Amino acid sequence: MKKILKVAILFGLSGAASLSQAACSFDVEVGDYLKFSAADMTVEKSCESITVNLKHTGQLPANIMGHNWVLSKNAEVQAVATEGMSAGLAASYVPQGDARVVAFSKVIGGGETTSITFSTSGLTAGEGYTFFCSFPGHSYSMRGAFNVNA
Q: What residue ranges bind Zn ion (CB under 5 A)?
A: 67, 133, 135, 138, 142
Shortest CA distance to 113 belongs to which of 47, 37, 30, 54? 54
Q: Which is nearer to Zn ion, 129 or 135 (CB)?
A: 135
CB of 96 to Zn ion, least distance (A): 19
Q: Which is nearer to Zn ion, 50 or 105 (CB)?
A: 105
In order, the DSSP letters of 9-69 are: HHHHHHTPPPTTS--SEEEEEEBSBS--S-SEEEEETT-SEEEEEEEE-S-S-HHHH-B--
CB of 24 to Zn ion, least distance (A): 24
Shortest CA distance to 34 belongs to which of 73, 60, 2? 60
Q: Which is nearer to Zn ion, 50 or 110 (CB)?
A: 110
CB of 35 to Zn ion, least distance (A): 9
Residue whose beta carbon is closest to Zn ion? 133
Q: Which is nearer to Zn ion, 22 or 60 (CB)?
A: 60
Q: Which is nearer to Zn ion, 45 or 109 (CB)?
A: 109
CB of 50 to Zn ion, least distance (A): 20
CB of 44 to Zn ion, least distance (A): 27
Task: Kindly report the backbone phi and psi dihedral angles of residue 57, in degrees, each rounded to the nearest multiple of 5, phi listed first.
Answer: -90, 0
Q: Which region, left, alpha or beta, applies to residue 92 given φ > 0 means left and ψ of -120 to 50 means alpha?
A: left
Strand 49-56, strand 25-30: pairing: parallel
